[in-house]
């Protein structure tokens, strides 16, 4: 620390005329060397939200890298073609977002109401897409969601436990049955707090009960 301070003041003394921009550059370098961020900036400004809220545009951020968007669009096309060729569109939909490509399973496809055990007849859908997931380089996050109807059982005291158990069971199935790299996978349960639509009708609640397999943008796994 003493050496850094001495070097800093020697540099200042060496300037016959103090240039404001050069002064700021030196100050920023000095702050970075001791682990201090520039005032007014946060880590979240340097790394976008990973929740897929849609509130920000990838092209609006300072770190926009066109090659990442191009790769994501290529993945989207590849996933769409795979799903249609295998007839999986009866079980899931594919969506392209800023954060990644989402394969969206409605609850009734993988799970019975209020349960977290993968239905035996639903495993074939996961078996089909596992080869595709293994071939792509993107990090993968499995997300569980419920509607807003409360659940209070011994196993699931709330929707948090139910949604998390569903995401975890899908993650474990892909790792244990198909050998996907666990370093690429993560699981998250959001309960009823990230609905697609208002929970005001039985149809809408059914849409909100879902499991999403998200192929994240490459930089979100760095």
Distance from C-alpha of 103 to C-alpha of 151, rounded to nearest angstrom: 26
Q: Where are the beta strands (DSSP E) in the chain?
A: 92-96, 100-106, 140-145, 185-189, 210-216
- The region that residue 97 occupies, defined by phi over 0 for left and psi between -120 and 50 for alpha, beta otherwise, is beta
For residue 8, the model assigns a pLDDT of 61
Q: What does the buried/exposed string (b/e) look like for 104-124 if buried means 16 or more CB atoms within 10 Å of the residue's CB?
A: bbbbebbbeeebbebeeebee
What are the extents of the domains in the chain?
A: 2-41, 58-221
Name which of 95, 54, 64, 83 is nearest 214 in CA terms.
95
Q: List phi, psi (to 5°) of 91.
A: -115, -20
36: its two tokens: 């201090």
Contacts of 73 (CB under 8 A, 6+ apart): 96
Q: Tell me if 201 sits within 8 A of 192, measured CB to CB.
A: no
Range 58-221 has CATH code 1.10.3720.10: no
For residue 33, the model assigns a pLDDT of 43
For residue 50, the model assigns a pLDDT of 47
What does pLDDT average to in each consecutive run of 10 residues of the chain (222 residues)? 62 51 47 42 37 44 77 97 96 96 93 95 96 97 97 97 98 98 97 97 96 96 67
For residue 14, the model assigns a pLDDT of 54
């Amino acid at each position: 620390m003493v050496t850094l301070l001495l070097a800093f003041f020697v540099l200042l003394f060496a300037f016959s005329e103090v240039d404001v921009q050069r002064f700021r550059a030196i100050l920023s370098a000095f702050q970075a060397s001791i682990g201090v961020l520039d005032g007014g900036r946060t880590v979240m400004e340097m790394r976008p939200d990973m929740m897929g809220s849609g509130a920000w545009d990838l092209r609006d951020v300072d770190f926009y890298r066109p090659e990442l968007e191009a790769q994501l669009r290529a993945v989207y096309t590849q996933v769409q073609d795979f799903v249609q060729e295998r007839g999986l569109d009866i079980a899931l939909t594919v969506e392209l977002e800023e954060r990644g490509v989402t394969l969206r399973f409605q609850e009734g496809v993988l799970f019975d109401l209020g349960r977290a055990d993968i239905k035996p007849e639903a495993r074939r859908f996961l078996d089909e897409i596992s080869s595709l997931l293994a071939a792509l380089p993107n990090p993968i996050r499995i997300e569980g969601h419920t509607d807003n109807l409360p659940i209070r059982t011994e196993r699931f005291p709330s929707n948090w436990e139910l949604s998390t158990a569903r995401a975890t069971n899908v993650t474990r199935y892909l790792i244990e049955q198909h050998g996907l790299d666990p370093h690429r996978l993560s699981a998250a349960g959001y309960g009823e707090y990230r609905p697609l639509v208002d929970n005001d009708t039985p149809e809408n609640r059914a849409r909100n009960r879902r499991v999403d397999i998200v192929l994240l943008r490459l930089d979100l796994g760095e």
